[in-house]
Amino acid sequence: MEIREAIDQDFDLIWHIFQEIASAGETYAYDRSTSKGEAFNLWMKYPRKTFVFEEDGEILGTYYIVTNHSGPGDHVCNCGYMVSSSARGRGLATAMCEHSQKIAIDLGYKAMQFNFVAASNEGAVRLWKKLGFETVGRLPNAFNHPNLGFVDALVMYKWFET
């Protein structure tokens, strides 16, 4: 198993994961019909860096890291993580989040913020808390879940000890 920086040629494999998660509409605030080209820009071009979790030549997960805001907020980054449904429950999200925090520190960030975590995504919320993130904000009914209707979105934050 290896987490490595993604290259453009990885996107065909990333796309399968992205499409599965985005089209479900349960965890990300992406349009459920996001095209492959739009997804490429969102996941590969817009972020500062994108990584893949690879095992035996198969991409099982991916994450990006991006500066959350420019100027006086450029010391805070944001990350997004996706794991293939075939690989869930194996600790990939934990490994990628821990890896992303090391990368963030190496890139000079002082904190990481998740801007819009669906409160219904209980596994992610539990994991982020376990990894030291605090819920610093709650946006009532901000996420329109396809099955549950309007649910809260959380803002989660972690300051890195230096």
pLDDT in tens, 71-115: 999 999 999 999 999 998 899 999 999 999 999 999 999 999 999
Strand order in the sheet with 134-145: 2-5, 49-55, 58-67, 76-83, 111-118, 149-159, 134-145
Q: Round to whole Å and give the CA distance between 95 and 93.
A: 5
Q: How far is CA 106 from CA 12, 25, 54, 111, 120, in A?
A: 28, 32, 22, 12, 32
Summarised one tens digit per residue, pLDDT across range 9-21 is: 999 999 999 999 9
* Cα(72)–Cα(108) distance, integer angstroms: 14
Model pLDDT for residues 30-65, shown as the tens digit of each residue: 999 999 999 999 999 999 999 999 999 999 999 999
State pLDDT tens for residues 122-159: 999 999 999 999 999 999 999 999 999 999 999 999 99
**What DSSP designation does 87 have?**
G
Model pTM above 0.85: yes
Percent of the chain with pLDDT over 90: 96
Q: How many structural domains compose the chain?
A: 1
Predicted confidence band of residue 162 (pLDDT cuts 50, 70, 90):
low
Q: How far, in whole angstroms, is CA 142 from its chain's centroid?
A: 18
Please give the residue range of the domain that contains residue 136: 2-159
Q: What is the dihedral of CA 95, 112, 14, 25, to 10 degrees?
A: 110
At 161 the pLDDT is 80
Q: What is the mean pLDDT of the chain?
A: 96
Positive or negative, the Cα torsion across 11, 13, 18, 19?
Answer: positive
Q: What is the CATH classification number for the domain harbouring 135?
A: 3.40.630.30
Contact present, 80 and 64 (Cβ < 8 Å): yes
